[in-house]
Amino acid sequence: MKDLFRGELVRLTSEEPEFRARQEVLWQNDTEFHRLADGDPAEMYSTKKIQGWLEKAVEDSFGPERYSFSIRTLEGDKLIGFLGLWCNLIHSEVWVGIGIGDRAYWGKGYGTDAMKLCVQYAFMELGVQRVSLGLHAYNPRALRAYEKAGFRLEGRTRQDLAREGKRYDSLWMGILRHEWLQMQNGDKA
């Protein structure tokens, strides 16, 4: 059986909270990163605060409801992002979130590769029936990445966010187990 944590460009890892917190502090210096990841106002957090959240997440999490990973490049072994899965155990459904922190690594396929690993983990390891995610309409790069990973657009929360004096929709997408299995068979054929 293949290694589910290893893709073509990236691998999923577990990092020491202190190390990851120091990286996240650097990522948050770019308001664009915050705006792509979240709908709240961009804020600056201390390393200590972020480390506290990460430590709490490590303690409270890791299955069966929450799984959390970091993302490293295969080439250079650089920590570039994070990935989280939140399971609804009763309905066999999982909500995922992903972020590539450093601008220098955007638009190069790292996020798409990590998302493919995420979906594979959800269907092949967690065994869920459906994977869901949300994004902002002002993030077309994410939309393309999620489409490449197999997600379908399912709806839009109209005029959900205010950014730069304009209103923007939020979008949500999903992929069903049978759709993903079909994709895998198609890839092999």
Binding site for other proteins (CB under 8 A): 39-41, 88, 90-93, 129-130, 132, 154-162, 167, 172, 174, 176
Nearer to other proteins, 6 or 56 (CB): 56
State the Cα–Cα distance between residues 180 and 9, nearest whole angstrom.
20
Residue whose CB is less far from other proteins, 69 or 168: 168
- Separation in Å, CA 134 to CA 76, 78, 95: 30, 26, 9
Three-class secondary structure of residue 163 per DSSP = strand
Compare residues 56 and 158 and give the one whose CB is closer to other proteins.
158
Closest distance between other proteins and the C-beta of residue 65, in Å? 12
As measured in angstroms, the least distance from the Cβ of 61 to other proteins is: 19
**Residue 109 or residue 134: which is nearer to other proteins going by CB?**
134
CA–CA dist 79, 147 (Å, integer): 24
Let me know: does 83 contact 69? Beta carbons within 8 Å.
Answer: yes
User: How far is Cα 88 from Cα 70, in angstroms, rounded to an integer?
Assistant: 21
Among the listed residues 109, 119, 178, 117, the one whose alpha carbon sits nearest the alpha carbon of residue 144: 109
